[in-house]
Structure 1
Amino acid sequence: MPDDLVASLSEVARTYGGVRVLDDVSIDFEPGVTAVVGPNGSGKSTLQRILVGATEPTAGEVRYPGATGPKPIGYLPQRVPFRDGFTARETLAFYARLVDDDPDAALERVGLVDAGGRRVEALSGGMRRLLGIAQAVLGDPSLVVLDEPASGLDPGMRERAFRAAARRADGDTAVVVSSHALDLVDAHADRVVILGQGRVAAAGALDRLLEERDVADASELYRAVIESTGARASDEGDAGDGGGGDGDPTEGDGEREESDDAERDVHVTGVSDR
């Protein structure tokens, strides 16, 4: 076991209504940014929910050897349930009191100081995502898990949200982020986990995987790995990760929202910019 290991999944599986959404997943999460990518329905949201303890695995073990402190884990789901009627500062202040943190410093970390006095319902979608990131990292958690922080945002706000998330990764903090925006994975990720049909199709340091597959970037890596495994987005695989079927009714609402184009599995800069 690595000395700086923050969290790990060991032989984790998850089944919904007889459909196995994750199967024999073993991953170590170390300090730095780990990007989780894969087709819709491949198990990304389910993996992240299991990692933060929001969903129990059907089998396997989750461990947190390096997740310590008053708030060891921070989590941003795809749908952030902030209450209307409160300003961004008031919203963060409520959560900050629970972990003895400074809401103004949290706003500054994500570049929302000027929007602190605006009500949550008046914030743009990008600003709400940034506010969600600020809330997730209150209390300086050792493990930060962000489910599609750049989903549905314009290119400039996507970069801003991803950059704010990546800044939290340091010598003690592991940031785990799912994303279809592979240009941002190239720019910010240290490691990549590629899921296909609920299994780990490839995992490791991004530079090493690029060299092993003889590809130039994360987009080419994704295509090479997914084509080699035959894993494609499928309605049959969405029971726990994309909504529908017999799956957890709270699971994966965002997986169907991850792309405005149902035929596209992955964001490719210049092709699928929203």
Structure 2
Amino acid sequence: MTTSEAIQVRGLEKSYKTLRVLRGVDFAVARGGIFALLGSNGAGKTTVVKILSTLLKADAGTATVNGSDVATQAADVRESISLTGQFAAVDEILSGRENLVLVARLRHLKDPGRIADDLLERFALTDAAARKVATYSGGMRRRLDIAMSLIGNPPVVFLDEPTTGLDPQARIEVWQAVRELAEHGTTVLLTTQYLDEAEHLADRIAILHEGRIIVNGTLDELKRLLPPAEVRYVEKQPTLEDVFLALVGGGKDGDAGDDRTTAPASEDRR
């Protein structure tokens, strides 16, 4: 493992009785980058994340996270990571600020109130800090969940399908939060089944299919695997996404313009 790699996986295998979920998975994630593990339901994405976060043992292969082996140095791995699962793990009875203060105290950090206030501002939740989380929208809950995972400044964050079940505006809010993680130097491993999510966020994309990585590269490298597109000049019509974002806005920070013009990877752009 080189100093430029935060995660390295070699020959990872995992089976549940006769079902082979992982069949020799190999990939590496650069420090400070966003790496998307793309695949359909049942491809093995969550199994990879569980192994890397020491929640599950591999049958074969090796994996290192932030320089520590997940099998033999599990405690060191857990100290350097944070895991956000498919559903927001927040306490709805508490306010947003109280959720953050609670986690900071559990981590025995100094000045938990200041830590909470800094994260609320960073994730644009200051105005809702005193409200019970039960009143939050899906996007706000997910942003709070990600903020909670950053307490203690872990260098590596795992996001397992973070936008599952969210509406379009909430997804855009979460995308902005993920971009900000990388801007602050955090390494992000993102699993998703959404093509547009991987296209919007990732520096590198690996496609996991039937337990194997079938392709791994930047978006441009993956596009070059197909024949060049035929250039035709057609009148561009607004998509439903364009209409929706124009009417409701593009989430926080007024970044709707960027998101409106990027179509999902599976669509024919017009």
TM-score in terms of structure 2 length: 0.74
Aligned AA for 2:54? Answer: G
What stretches of structure 1 move > 3 A for 4+ residues in a row? Answer: 65-71, 212-216, 267-271
Tell me whether 76-85 or 192-201 shows the greater mean CA deviation: 76-85
Report if aligned partners of 2:6, 2:66 keep a CA contact under 8 Å in 1.
Answer: yes
* Aligned residue number for residue 23 of structure 1: 23
* Aligned residue number for residue 193 of structure 1: 206
Aligned AA for 1:25? Answer: V
Aligned AA for 1:156? Answer: Q
User: Which one scores higher on RCO, CA 8 angstroms, separation ≥ 6?
Assistant: 1
Shift in Å at residue 17 of structure 1?
2.7
Report if aligned partners of 1:159, 1:184 keep a CA contact under 8 Å in 2.
Answer: no
Which aligned pairs between 1:53-92 and structure 2 lie closer than 5 A?
A: 53-66=54-67, 71-92=79-100
Tell me whether 70-79 or 161-170 shows the greater mean CA deviation: 70-79
Shift in Å at residue 131 of structure 1?
1.1
- Say whether residues 1:213 and 2:226 are aligned partners: yes
- Say whether residues 1:119 and 2:135 are aligned partners: no
Aligned AA for 1:43? Answer: G
Aligned AA for 1:160? Answer: E
Aligned AA for 1:83? Answer: D
Which aligned pairs between 1:228-247 and structure 2 lie closer than 5 A?
A: none
Distance 1:95 1:133 in 2: 12
Aligned AA for 2:100? Answer: L
TM-score in terms of structure 1 length: 0.73
* Aligned residue number for residue 236 of structure 1: none
Higher-Rg structure is: 2
Shift in Å at residue 124 of structure 1?
2.0
Shift in Å at residue 33 of structure 1?
0.6
Report if aligned partners of 2:157, 2:189 keep a CA contact under 8 Å in 1.
Answer: yes
- Say whether residues 1:145 and 2:153 are aligned partners: no
* Percent of residue pairs identical: 33
Unaligned runs of 5+ in 2: 69-75, 230-262
Unaligned runs of 5+ in 1: 217-266
Aligned length: 221
* Aligned residue number for residue 94 of structure 1: 102
Shift in Å at residue 167 of structure 1?
1.4
Deviations 1:180-224 (A, max 9, x none): 3322322221000101011111112222222233467xxxxxxxx
Bigger proportion of residues as helix: 2
Deviations 1:35-57 (A, max 9, x none): 11111110111111111112221
Distance 1:66 1:174 in 2: 13
Aligned AA for 1:56? Answer: K
Aligned AA for 2:44? Answer: G
CA distance 1:85–1:211, shift in 2 (3 Å)? same
Which aligned pairs between 1:44-55 and structure 2 lie closer than 5 A?
A: 44-55=45-56
